[in-house]
Amino acid sequence: MIGALIIVFREVIEAGLIIGIVMAATQTVMGSRMWIMGGVLAGIIGSCILAAFTGSLASLFDGFGQEIFNASILAVAVCMLTWHNIWMALNGRAMAGELKQAGIAVREGQKSLMALAIIVGTAVLREGSEVVLFLYGVAIGGRETASGMALGGALGLAIGGAVSFLTFRGLLKIPNRYFFSVTSWLITFLAAGMAAQSVSFLEKAGLVEVLQNTVWDSSKYLAESGIPGRILHTLIGYSDQPTVLQFIVYLAVLSIGFGLTKWISRPRLRTV
């Protein structure tokens, strides 16, 4: 049972953290809950469909269909996250401050919320299909402890959900003054980490063969495969053996994200 719990929890935690951050970041945007829930739901349905087609997906692109699929949806999520950050830099402050603008903000905001629903949906999709495959394997039997494993799986899901909720509540405790900056930093780091991960999938598929030297190896101190490593991997894109290319892409997305947000929200001269 514990084994099943850990397997499912490990898959769920990444999506859980992302959902928590996105929920907190869009707290002030009206209608954001609906979109996020929609994203989660679409992700779950997508996971079931993806799980059913795992075999055929795997056989695409000389056997590297899964990697290319993962790299692509991560790239989509990176674009959506960056776009959301820019949108929040343009509108976020005004929205939080002035109620009269709320109507306009909501109308404009739908586009940004759509982007967030896609981010949440892809996060659930990436991790979810493996959970579905695993639980399906348990359900069709062949293993003695099926009921214990099903229970473990359910608990893993529940704990993953709790992580998502705690992330959300924890972020809301941040004082208003810093809230906007903290959530946009978090989103920039998420995007950079996902971009590096997307590169790593392209490398695994053998599609990218440049700059493949390892920058550092910290696997002995903080393994990426353990739970703390995995959390850091999701939050800031921690990798225990990054390649030069992953590192460059990571830094590039990070500086583009910070640079753009800073540039947009720079103080402007105003004529009164």
Partner 1 sequence: MLTRALVLSLTLVALSSPLRAEDIVTYETTLKDKAFTVSEIKVPAGKPFIIKLNNANAAAAELEAKELKVEKAVAGNSSIVVRVKAMEPGKYLFVDEYQEDVAKGYVIVE
Residues that bind partner 1 (CB under 8 A): 3, 7, 51, 54-55, 58-59, 61-64, 66, 71-72, 75, 78-79, 82-83, 129-130, 133-134, 136-138, 140, 142-143, 191, 195, 198-199, 202-209, 212, 219, 223, 225, 241, 249, 252-253, 256-257, 260
CB of 253 to partner 1, least distance (A): 6
Q: Which is nearer to partner 1, 52 or 182 (CB)?
A: 52
C-beta of residue 3 within 8 angstroms of C-beta of residue 145:
no
Instruction: Round to whole Å and give the CA distance between 117 and 39.
Output: 4
CB of 226 to partner 1, least distance (A): 9
CB of 232 to partner 1, least distance (A): 16
Q: Which is nearer to partner 1, 65 or 161 (CB)?
A: 65
CB of 56 to partner 1, least distance (A): 9
C-beta of residue 81 within 8 angstroms of C-beta of residue 190:
yes
CB of 32 to partner 1, least distance (A): 23
Q: Which is nearer to partner 1, 6 or 158 (CB)?
A: 6
C-beta of residue 14 within 8 angstroms of C-beta of residue 127:
yes
C-beta of residue 165 within 8 angstroms of C-beta of residue 15:
no
Q: Which is nearer to partner 1, 15 or 171 (CB)?
A: 15
Q: Which is nearer to partner 1, 51 or 171 (CB)?
A: 51
Neighbours of 15 (CB within 10 A): 28
Q: Which is nearer to partner 1, 186 or 195 (CB)?
A: 195
Q: Which of 114, 62, 208 is nearest to 106 (CA)?
A: 114
CB of 97 to partner 1, least distance (A): 26
CB of 214 to partner 1, least distance (A): 9
CB of 85 to partner 1, least distance (A): 10
Q: Which is nearer to partner 1, 140 or 269 (CB)?
A: 140
Q: Which is nearer to partner 1, 19 or 202 (CB)?
A: 202
